[in-house]
């Protein structure tokens, strides 16, 4: 790994380090559940949701929504301050689709999450088909006082796969969302999943190539994992698809990073599989080992993010 003043520089543009450089200290995300739903779960688009979606809708069960948003923020800050002496925080709306409500309701909820003086940013996770110009204008207003991100769940650019995983939106929805979000002071992050059923390594790398020139600011990479009580679990138990091996994942992630422009921040290189509900792969439980192996693979290749990026 390359050395840089005060940091051990990764071979990729690590988001946490980017934040540290920007704000002069480590910045922590407070994950929030504001009680939103998802149109792909409530029957508006389809019933049942994405085939990999568990009950919590991509949300850590460590947090429940019995507390108000403001209380969740305060509790989260207190915990992080006493545990890590943390100073700065981002309110992160993670559960379900956090723009899935009328604009006036969204405004009230987002406002509540920003009341604490140590909150310096707002990050909103949502589906690309759950935004419109009005909602983007609202979110854009926060950019004058806060560091703002919107995180779009894309997963793959291939409509065939999006269809298969019952995503309920297509790649064009994502492109439209990016288009209306760009140049509004909002940073854009795309979530992708590596290892989706039916996708070859070439398919996965086509997603990287497509993202490279969109002018987005961040990418969050997830490993496909099978969670309890999901449609994916049934398919997995019926041997309908194969999960990637650790070696395949590590190599594909490195290939993916090589294709992204160096300025894109990398928010994650694998999700946090919740042990209590994780069916497979087991090796995701050793996440540090996995992240180290990705570092080592990049070192071995003498490679880095952007090495094969062609504008
Ligand atoms: S969009 Fe998110 S919350 Fe909705 S069904 Fe898919 S994974 Fe679940």
The domain spanning residue 69 has which CATH number?
A: 3.20.20.70
Three-state secondary structure string covering 28-89: EEEEECCCCCCCCCECCCCECCCCCCCCCCCCCCCCCCCCCHHHHHHHHHHHHHHHHCCCEE
User: Is 311 part of any domain?
Assistant: no
The ligand 1 site (C-beta within 6 Å) comprises 38, 40-41, 49-50, 53, 57-58, 96-97, 127, 153
> Using alpha carbons only, what angle is made at residue 111 by residues 126 and 175, rounded to the nearest 5 degrees?
25
User: Is 259 part of any domain?
Assistant: yes
* CA-closest candidate to residue 91, choices 108, 65, 115, 68: 115
User: Is 134 part of any domain?
Assistant: yes
Question: How many structural domains is the chain composed of?
Answer: 1
User: Is 307 part of any domain?
Assistant: no
Tokens of 261: 């422009």
User: Is 310 part of any domain?
Assistant: no
Cα-to-centroid distance, 85 and ligand 1 (Å): 34
Q: Which residue is associated with the tokens 């940013």? A: 121
Neighbours of 67 (CB within 10 A): 15
Residue 269 to residue 278: CA distance in whole angstroms:
18
Cα-to-centroid distance, 124 and ligand 1 (Å): 14
The pLDDT averaged over each successive group of 10 residues in the chain (311 residues) is 57 97 97 95 88 69 73 97 97 96 98 98 98 98 98 98 97 98 98 98 98 97 95 97 97 98 97 84 93 97 96 82
pLDDT at residue 8 in the model: 61
Tokens of 208: 């990287």
pLDDT at residue 251 in the model: 98
User: Is 227 part of any domain?
Assistant: yes
* CA-closest candidate to residue 150, choices 163, 168, 169, 132: 132
Q: Which atom of ligand 1 is nearest to the CA of 54?
A: 8
Question: Which are the contacts of 38, defined by CB distance < 8 A and separation ≥ 6?
Answer: 49, 53, 57, 96, 97, 100, 127
Cα-to-centroid distance, 50 and ligand 1 (Å): 6
For the chain, what is the radius of gyration of the CA atoms? 19
Pocket test for ligand 1, best of 153, 173, 177 (most atoms within 8 A of CB): 153
DSSP 8-state code for residue 24: S
Residue 278 to residue 76: CA distance in whole angstroms:
25
Residue-range definition of the domain harbouring residue 132: 2-301
CB 88 within 8 A of CB 76: no
| Phi, psi values for residue 125, rounded to 5° | -95, 135
User: Is 97 part of any domain?
Assistant: yes
Cα-to-centroid distance, 126 and ligand 1 (Å): 9
Q: How far apart are the first and last CA of the chain?
A: 25
Pairing of strands 278-280, 226-227: antiparallel
User: Is 157 part of any domain?
Assistant: yes
């Amino acid at each position: 790994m390359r050395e840089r003043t005060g940091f051990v520089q990764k071979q990729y543009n690590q988001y946490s380090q980017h934040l540290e450089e920007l704000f002069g200290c480590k910045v922590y995300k407070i994950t929030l559940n504001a009680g939103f739903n998802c149109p792909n779960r409530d029957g508006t688009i389809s019933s049942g949701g994405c085939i990999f979606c568990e009950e919590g809708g991509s949300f850590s069960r460590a947090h429940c929504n019995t507390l108000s948003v403001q209380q969740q923020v305060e509790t989260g800050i207190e915990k992080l301050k006493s545990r890590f002496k943390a100073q700065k925080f981002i309110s992160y709306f993670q559960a379900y689709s956090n723009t899935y409500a009328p604009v006036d309701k969204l405004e009230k909820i987002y406002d509540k999450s920003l009341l604490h003086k140590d909150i310096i940013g707002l990050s909103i996770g949502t589906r690309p088909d759950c935004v419109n110009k009005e909602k983007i204008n609202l979110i854009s207003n926060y950019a004058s006082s806060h560091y703002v991100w919107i995180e779009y769940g894309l997963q793959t650019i291939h409509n065939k796969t999006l269809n298969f995983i019952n995503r309920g939106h297509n790649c064009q929805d994502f492109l439209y969302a990016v288009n209306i979000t760009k140049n509004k002071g909002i940073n854009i992050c795309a979530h992708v999943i590596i290892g989706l059923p039916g996708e070859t390594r070439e398919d996965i790398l086509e997603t990287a190539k497509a993202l490279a020139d969109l002018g987005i600011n961040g990418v969050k990479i997830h490993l496909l994992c099978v969670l309890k009580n999901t449609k994916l679990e049934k398919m997995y138990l019926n041997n309908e698809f194969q999960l990637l091996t650790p070696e395949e994942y590590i190599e594909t992630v490195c290939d993916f990073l090589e294709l992204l422009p160096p300025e894109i921040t990398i928010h994650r290189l694998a999700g946090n599989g919740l042990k209590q509900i994780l069916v497979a792969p087991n090796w995701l439980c050793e996440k540090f080992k996995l992240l180290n192996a990705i570092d080592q693979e990049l070192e071995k290749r003498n490679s880095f993010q952007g090495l094969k990026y062609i504008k």
